[in-house]
């Protein structure tokens, strides 16, 4: 469900602001969605973690060696491609 903030009742707006921890502006839209969390067993989580470790070990083994500065630049470029305002912590 998507609602314009200007169309919310005062009680609805107050509830949303409480959840968000900030004021909602009149020109904002609010989206509310419910879902059932997926339950994953502890054993399956361990299996997934091991699969990821194996995958990343294969990736690391196949990559060309680069300096630490080049690696940081690559990571920063990748972050900026999905978050244009990204600035690395220094």
- The answer as to whether 87 is a domain residue is no
Count of the separate structural domains present in the chain: 2
Query: What's the pLDDT tens digit per position in 37-68?
Result: 889 999 999 999 999 999 999 999 998 889 99
Task: Check whether residue 47 and residue 74 sit in a common domain.
Answer: yes
Instruction: Compute the mean pLDDT over every residue in the chain, rounded to the nearest whole number.
Output: 93
Mean predicted confidence (pLDDT) in 60-80: 91
List, in sequence order, every beta strand (DSSP E) within the chain. 2-4, 29-31
- Structural domain harbouring 78: 42-82
- The answer as to whether 88 is a domain residue is no
Query: How far is residue 28's CA from residue 66's CA, in Å, rounded to a whole number?
Result: 45
Global model pTM greater than 0.85? no
- The answer as to whether 37 is a domain residue is no
């Amino acid at each position: 469900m998507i609602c314009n903030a200007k169309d919310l009742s005062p009680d609805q707006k107050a509830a949303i602001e409480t959840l968000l921890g900030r004021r909602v502006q009149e020109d904002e839209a609010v989206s509310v969605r419910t879902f059932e969390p997926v339950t994953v067993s502890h054993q399956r989580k361990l299996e997934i973690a091991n699969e990821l470790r194996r995958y990343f070990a294969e990736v690391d083994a196949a990559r060309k060696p680069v300096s630490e500065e080049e690696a940081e630049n690559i990571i920063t470029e990748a972050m900026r491609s999905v978050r244009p305002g990204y600035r690395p912590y220094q």
